[in-house]
A and B are shown apart, each in its own frame.
Chain A
Amino acid sequence: MLPRDLKAEQFADYPPQARALAVSHLAALQQLPLSFVPSLLREVIDYDYKFPAERVAIDKELANLSSLSPPQLNDWFQAFSQLSLSSKLEQFDWMNQPARFVEQLSAYLWTTQQLDSFRKAATVYNDRLRSATPPDPIPVRRLGIAVIGQGVASYDAPLFRNLRPHGAYFASVKPDNGLTLLLNAVEARAKAHPAAYGHWYIDGGQPAGHSPMLTCVSYEGLEPVRAALLHNIQTEIQRPGMGPEELRTHLATLTPADLGMSKSGDEVLDRFQVRLLTEGSGTQIFSTTFAQWTAREALRRAQPLTMLVRFAPRQRQRPMNELLSTGHGTAELDFAGSLVDADMGAYYNWINQQRLPGAEQSAFLVWFEGHNQAIAIGPSIPRGSVSTTVADPGELAALVVA
């Protein structure tokens, strides 16, 4: 089937809001090339479970497409139309399984050496869409905070190497009660600028006490889900015909209920958390990876105004000789390695934050937990500088958004 053959009744299996949205923009969808439509439908089909920022983006994109005349659509999608797709892809049930189609499309583009052309077309399209649908101004300067090095007694190697050129290095931070001060600062922002999924607290371990106004995701909190996922995987990989791609397809179908999450929970957040574990690589194994990937996905999808990410020590990667000799005891923690992971993770958090609207006004703070080192980045902070100011983490959080 090709997009021009789309009919309203074919969206019957979509969730209610997604169905209504697709049907209302059917005329535009029918005019788009097959190399593009499933990528859009992959977002639309999950519309009912999307964060508000994602819904706004989908609404704007579809409205823009519907506003374009046929010649304009031709112009916008010429590069996509020039890609050659197989008849097998055309015959795939891409309307009801758009994510699976996109996986197969990706493999096909790699195989036929069309990936670079697709990538270029997608980049041009995104730039054009961004110009046509500028983001709404945000009510407050975006603030990202990373707390790294939990449990590390001392560390002599330099920290924040990637971030130092972008802000001020503080070496006289007062560490007492620092995490609480930062959580208080985040809570204050949530009270001043209430927004659904607008203020996040991500913890790579056990979360500290925090305001219910914050959207909280933690590695420890998802331990039962991770265990259920492992059990599910072990069952699935025993099935005949199972392979890595089949397993990935299976994982993509899992719902919160499949992994034992309460049906009375926040379905949007629960689905987000399941995706962290089923789509993320290493998120099931290492808490530092979990924290970084959760931050990346939350920034990309929810576009929060405030995000505090606290990295916790991950389990130590046991060398092969230990695995052979001692079986499977309780996992030890790798404090120093986790600090290195988190230092890089904080850098990636900043990069991902800078991809969001208002980047030039956004602020970022990284604090070495329990110690006196921090890096502060903000529009009023001199780049590549060193500050001798004595301040606690809460005061630094206020400084970067000033």
Chain B
Amino acid sequence: MTPAQQLARKLSRSRRDFLRDAAGLGLGSALMSSSPLLHGAVAAKKRKTIVITFGGGARDQETFAPEGQENIPNLLKELIPQSSFFTQVVNQGILGHYVATASLATGVYETLNNFSAVPPEHPTVFEYFRKDLHRPLSDAWVVAPSNGFNRIGESDYRSYGPGMGARVVLPKHLLGAAISGSSTDYQHLLSDNYETPLYAPQLAGGEVELQQLEMILKLSVDDFKAHARTISSPDELSMFIVRRLMQQESPSLLWITLHDIDIAHAGAYSLYVDAIRRTDRLCAELWSAVQSEPEYAGNTTMFILPDFGRDGDQDAGGNGFQHHRTGDVASRTTWMMAMGAGVRQGVVYDRPMQSIDLVPTLGAMMGFTPSLSQGKAIKELV
């Protein structure tokens, strides 16, 4: 075992111990004799899947470690007891949010330029899902945080690609289009993309246009603006869009990338912690919404995972929580929870897995074949 693997394992063990103390969960290896799906929870055709990724990881000391648990009361006390929790999810790819999210969505470590508006090189989970299961465009949606994500919905891979992926909605872009005029101070620029705070990329198509607000979300521009004035952060706006999508379109595959935590790049620790607390609350609210929506209640599996971590305090190449530039173990090792239909509750799994394992797992659960994915289905979930 290399030193890096030892460190990753130590991180994983810490998370398991923290969870045992805080939420009283059991270790999963003893319970792994058979798949939860064998117990027949859900028919595949009715299954709904929601994936929440954090584009901007949170470290253990601000979350699962004893000093951080005050920041994630909903995850700890409400969601994790209902979940299968995987303590050691390693991202071996490029640690930029767009490219890492693309990797999560394709099951391949993508190597595209993180700061370019280019599609993933390999087919996305949305393309596999729609093509194999003959699903309409309305059945797969992505709610993404910033302009740079507008091509995340589909690859340019031959035999998949344009027209076969998910619709992408960028709530902040929608809002920007809805409000007249624009401000140009630093804070506005920061609000688009925390990873490159001084530059907001222009869009080149692929987003939902304003007029579609009314057609798809059944929401007038004025109502949209009015609601936006009642909420405090971009992720809250994203969750509002997600709720509308669930009510109006009821997609079977819904992918949300939250981004408020990435305010950490601005270096203000209190804002980073505030965003962790907000994200914790929003995850619980979404799960609660799932229970209250007839199309989703009882047949939805939800995944929550950061795309990767953040730099540790002790690495001289970084600046602690602020960035994820060092490629150290803390920035590569994160976690995942799965909950809902077909998933065992209150179990912790320690074994290492990779973030690219998500897509084949979704394929096995939902009935499609992600043939080009390089990950492996997570046996504890399928």
Of A251, A285, A337, which one neighbours B197 at CB under 8 angstroms? A285
- Scoring B residues 240 to 276 as 1 if CB is less than 8 Å from chain A, else 0, what string do you get? 0000000000000000000000010111111101100
Residues of B within 8 A of A347 (CB): 313
A341 touches B269 (CB 8 A): yes
Q: Can you list 19 pairs linking A and B with CB atoms under 8 Å apart?
A: A107-B113, A111-B111, A115-B327, A247-B198, A280-B267, A282-B197, A286-B267, A292-B267, A315-B187, A317-B271, A319-B231, A320-B231, A320-B234, A321-B231, A323-B187, A337-B274, A341-B271, A348-B319, A355-B316
A281 touches B233 (CB 8 A): no
A284 and B199 CA atoms in complex are apart in Å by: 13
A281 and B115 CA atoms in complex are apart in Å by: 16
Of the listed stretches A84-92, A179-187, A229-237, A362-370, name the one at the interface; the rest are far from the partner chain. Answer: A229-237
A284 and B189 CA atoms in complex are apart in Å by: 12
Residues of B within 8 A of A35 (CB): none
A328 touches B185 (CB 8 A): yes
Residue of A nearest to B181 (CB): A327
Interface flag for B136 (CB, 8 Å)? no
Residues of A within 8 A of B196 (CB): 244, 247
Of the listed stretches B23-31, B124-132, B222-230, name the one at the interface; the rest are far from the partner chain. Answer: B222-230
B270 touches A337 (CB 8 A): yes
A111 and B115 CA atoms in complex are apart in Å by: 13
Residues of A within 8 A of B111 (CB): 111-112
- Scoring B residues 292 to 325 as 1 if CB is less than 8 Å from chain A, else 0, what string do you get? 0000000000000000000001101101111100
In B163-218, the 8 Å CB interface with A consists of 175, 179, 183-188, 190-191, 196-201
Interface residue count on the B side (C-beta < 8 Å): 58
- Scoring B residues 57 to 100 as 1 if CB is less than 8 Å from chain A, else 0, what string do you get? 00000000001000000000000000000000000111100000
Interface residue count on the A side (C-beta < 8 Å): 56
- Scoring B residues 317 to 353 as 1 if CB is less than 8 Å from chain A, else 0, what string do you get? 1011111001100000000000000000000000000
A230 touches B187 (CB 8 A): no
Residues of B within 8 A of A325 (CB): 229
Residues of A within 8 A of B265 (CB): 281-282
A113 and B232 CA atoms in complex are apart in Å by: 39
How many contacting A-B pairs (Cβ < 8 A)?
136
Residues of B within 8 A of A7 (CB): none
Interface flag for B41 (CB, 8 Å)? no
B199 touches A281 (CB 8 A): no
Interface flag for A338 (CB, 8 Å)? yes
In B135-178, the 8 Å CB interface with A consists of 175
B188 touches A284 (CB 8 A): no
Residue of A nearest to B263 (CB): A317
Residues of A within 8 A of B381 (CB): none
Of B94, B197, B201, B236, which one neighbours A281 at CB under 8 angstroms? B197
Residue of B nearest to A351 (CB): B313
- Scoring A residues 327 to 348 as 1 if CB is less than 8 Å from chain B, else 0, what string do you get? 1100000101110110111011
A317 and B264 CA atoms in complex are apart in Å by: 12
Known: A244-B115, A281-B267, A338-B270. A318 touches B187 (CB 8 A): yes
B314 touches A285 (CB 8 A): no
Across the A-B interface, the 9 shortest Cβ-Cβ residue pairs: A289-B267, A319-B232, A282-B266, A340-B270, A282-B267, A337-B270, A244-B196, A344-B269, A244-B199
B115 touches A243 (CB 8 A): yes
A252 to chain B, nearest CB (A): 13
Of A119, A245, A320, which one neighbours B237 at CB under 8 angstroms? A320
Residue of B nearest to A243 (CB): B115
Q: What does DSSP make chain A's interface, helix, strand, loop or mixed?
A: helix
Residues of A within 8 A of B314 (CB): 351
A281 and B183 CA atoms in complex are apart in Å by: 20
A242 and B266 CA atoms in complex are apart in Å by: 22
Residues of B within 8 A of A112 (CB): 111
A200 to chain B, nearest CB (A): 18
Known: A285-B266, A292-B267, A338-B270. A324 touches B179 (CB 8 A): yes
Residues of A within 8 A of B266 (CB): 281-282, 285-286, 289
Q: A282-B268, A283-B267, A320-B231 are in contact. List 18 more A-B contacts (CB 8 A).
A: A113-B93, A116-B4, A116-B327, A233-B198, A237-B200, A281-B267, A289-B268, A315-B187, A317-B268, A320-B191, A320-B237, A323-B188, A324-B175, A328-B183, A337-B268, A337-B271, A345-B269, A348-B313
B199 touches A321 (CB 8 A): no
Residues of B within 8 A of A344 (CB): 269, 320-321
A399 to chain B, nearest CB (A): 26
A112 and B92 CA atoms in complex are apart in Å by: 11
Known: A233-B198, A320-B228. A281 touches B323 (CB 8 A): yes
Residues of A within 8 A of B34 (CB): none
A109 and B268 CA atoms in complex are apart in Å by: 29
Interface flag for B116 (CB, 8 Å)? yes
Residue of B nearest to A344 (CB): B269
A227 and B269 CA atoms in complex are apart in Å by: 24
Residue of A nearest to B328 (CB): A119
Which of A281, A288, A293, A347 has the most chain B CB within a 10 Å cutoff?
A: A281
Interface flag for A263 (CB, 8 Å)? no
B319 touches A296 (CB 8 A): yes
Residues of B within 8 A of A289 (CB): 266-268
A317 and B188 CA atoms in complex are apart in Å by: 11
- Scoring A residues 266 to 287 as 1 if CB is less than 8 Å from chain B, else 0, what string do you get? 0000000000000011111110
Interface flag for A141 (CB, 8 Å)? no
Known: A113-B92, A328-B185. A321 touches B229 (CB 8 A): yes
A355 and B200 CA atoms in complex are apart in Å by: 36
B191 touches A284 (CB 8 A): no
Residues of A within 8 A of B198 (CB): 233, 244, 247, 251, 284
Residues of B within 8 A of A327 (CB): 183
B185 touches A320 (CB 8 A): no
A331 and B330 CA atoms in complex are apart in Å by: 35
Residues of B within 8 A of A293 (CB): 267, 319
Of B95, B201, B229, B319, which one neighbours A324 at CB under 8 angstroms? B229
A364 to chain B, nearest CB (A): 15
Residues of A within 8 A of B316 (CB): 355
